[in-house]
Structure 1
């Protein structure tokens, strides 16, 4: 069985950095091409391209269209990244402002108007998906069915072997190794930072605050609403990544931004973040004994933190699942960032006589 890697390089989703890794790991076997025409035509062109390049192993394209081609005797491994849609749109505008391509509509528009007007004009064209659920549209064709676009895109996140998350790039690279090493045992995903925008804020929250300030509340809220499906896809991809790959304590974010930080009261916040990084039940293949050990090692200090946070003092079982509990009428302290990542922490009260 021949194995090929197919990178669906979605615009401004960390793909340039991924391509740099793939080119370094597959020297002389990485090729790229762009396609024109409707989705069905592009899908056919994609299959022809794969068949025509027998010596290549890695294929990358911004404009290749799903579904993944089916070729007898060939295992095609699709790779795709998703990103917070509002941050992606802001990055696209910044990139197009500097793009020297007179035939590119986005570049022409970005160089003519400010960011607010750029968003308004792109949203005014109902056929333009650049600022309206762009990622949902691209992922939805991975699933052939009559289901709504959003449902198909969410299904693609669940079924594609690799859907990386730009906001957790290094962990996505660990997932990439899990996916590729069974077929390419020597593969190592060394993080490469390419095509970054200078002067951007480090955290996602800070960048989104900048976008809101640039657009104004009304346009920002409209843009969020127009990208509700992309937000759902992004959250689902992050949930999948959390389920498959444990965050490391020194995880830093990708070429594009930092993961949302937990905003819990100190000192509980620090300890909860450590717990978030260590809870292994989010990885279905985790070693259960290791889960119990991690729990036992953290519970003593966690109890002290809970007392300091006025959540009450109790004994807690070293279970593999943790959820912030409500005790003595005190609400749990899972932050909005944690909810965004769809991670649940549970501290199960097991107080006994």
Structure 2
């Protein structure tokens, strides 16, 4: 049976570091596949790619959404990393308003970035981004009938995380890489899990409470409260994932 790694590269969740590991390990037998216009890549579309590219051992995509492709002759090994949504918002700011613009540091403050993003109806990449992406259940694309309430999004995302034999946390990156190694090495003996740091806009790890406290002080109480309220689902998903990560045998 053929084995293929699928890396669900969620924006600003250490995905570039994982891609570097996969590229180093598999060379031309790894590829990145994204939609040219940012549309969701469905499980059905990914199945067609897997069959059309029999040489591939690993595929990464920013646009790939659950559920997993179901293949009789292919065993899929998903890789998903989650990140604390408030810290992730700061990383998105440093990338979008800094590195992506060719700047060492953004010229405009973080508070302005958050205010501008939250003024959008859906908040873009800093409003429940992880829960909404992982809650998708349609194999043909985005769910045609989204859940009737936010709690259903959260429940679906939590169930997806619980279904995985492995997932990682950016805030426990070294431990996650160790688990990833043992998860994949039997099926992919050529895998080289090195502790790479690619496209990093802020340090990974450290005291998470101190980092969140610094963000709260930087944004001020009103804007910080708005950011946390608009990430309630992601915060609950992250808390649940952290519990599962710490006590995997209990789930």
- The 3-state SS of whatever aligns with 2:70 is coil
Matched residue of 2:239: which SS?
Answer: helix
- Higher relative contact order (CA closer than 8 Å, sequence separation 6+): 2
Q: Give the drift of 1:189.
A: 2.2
Q: Is the 8 A contact 2:5 2:76 kept in 1?
A: yes
Secondary structure at the counterpart of residue 183 of structure 1: coil
Alignment of 1:51 onto 2:46: no
Matched, 1:207 2:211: yes
Kindly state the Cα deviation for residue 121 of structure 1 after the two structures are TM-superposed: 2.2
In structure 1, runs of 5+ residues without a counterpart are 245-282, 285-353
Q: How many residues align?
A: 240
Alignment of 1:120-199 (within 5 A): 120-141=115-136, 148-185=152-189, 187-197=191-201
> Measured at CA, do residues 142 and 24 of structure 1 come closer, stay the same or move farther in structure 2, by a change above 3 Å?
farther
Q: Aligned to 1:76, what secondary structure does the other structure show?
A: strand
**Structure 2 residue matching 1:176: 3-state secondary structure:** helix
Q: TM-score normalized by structure 2? A: 0.84
Deviations 1:116-165 (A, max 9, x none): 12212222222344121100011111588986111100111111222200
Structure 2 residue runs of 5 or longer lacking an equivalent are: none
Give the corresponding residue for 1:290: none
**Structure with bigger gyration radius:** 1
* 3-state SS, counterpart of residue 168 of structure 2: strand
Does structure 1 conserve the Cα–Cα contact (< 8 Å) formed by 2:99 and 2:201? no
Instruction: Give deviations 1:30-54, integer Å, cap 9, x for gaps.
Output: 1002113654x64443333222221
Cα RMSD (Å) of the superposition?
A: 2.9
Instruction: Quote the residue 1:230 is aligned against.
Output: 234
With normalisation by structure 1, the TM-score equals: 0.61
Query: 1: distance between equivalents of 2:122 and 2:52?
Result: 33
| Counterpart Cα distance in 2 of 1:189 and 1:127 | 36
Alignment of 1:1-353 (within 5 A): 1-35=1-35, 36=37, 38-39=39-40, 42-100=42-100, 113-141=108-136, 148-185=152-189, 187-197=191-201, 202-244=206-248, 283=249
Could you say what secondary structure the match of 1:26 adopts?
helix
